[in-house]
Amino acid sequence: MPRKPLFCAKEGDVCSCPAGRKVFFGAASTEKNVNATFQEVVDQWYSYGFSPKKGEMKCSLDNFNDPLEGQTKKCFCDVDDYYHQEWIDEDFKELAAKKEEEEEEAKAKELEAKRKALEAEAKRVAAEAKAAQERADKERIKKIQEARAAADKAREEAEAEAKKLRDAARERQKKEQEAAQKAELESDEAEHQAELDRLAAIAAE
């Protein structure tokens, strides 16, 4: 029974693998396992090549594409030619589809974040506009109230001045009437005295 590919080297070491056999280059660990199995390697992006005639191949980027940048890698040798090419093709097809799906999800999240940011900005602008309108309304109402207060004050002052003038006119008219009455009384008294003087003169003759 064919064996699954066997670990043959850490990244940077030399993998001993029969000439012409596939050598897989992938992640040395996963989130769940610090020592990734072959199946865990091919469940992620990986690279592969074929062992040269001498049966030795350095497990490094000198011989493989970098499937997972920034991660430590290791190599497996497919001694029994267990992992068929159609499986590899299917892996890459599934991984490409998964990558495309992840990119679409990332784009969707980015668009959603932008939408939320625009919505938040629109709310902020609307709130600022509302606040500005409220301030303008308050200022307008304040000015109207001030204008009304000024008008009321001017009217009160005008009414007070008019009352003052009316009172002064009445006082002047009263004094004039009193003066006229006094003059009339004095005139009557003078006439009466003159009549008494005339009568006294007649009596003395």
Chain segment 109-120, per-residue pLDDT in tens: 998 989 998 898
Asked if pLDDT for residue 96 goes beyond 80, the answer is yes
**Does 26 share its domain with 63?**
yes
89, part of any domain: no
Average pLDDT over residues 72-90: 96
Which of 83, 118, 145 finishes a domain? Answer: 83
Alpha-carbon span 134 to 128, nearest angstrom: 10
pLDDT at 154: 82
- Domain containing 51 equals 6-83
With beta carbons less than 8 A apart as the criterion, state whether 7 and 48 touch.
no
Confidence of residue 11 (pLDDT cuts 50, 70, 90): very high
Q: How many residues does the chain have?
A: 205
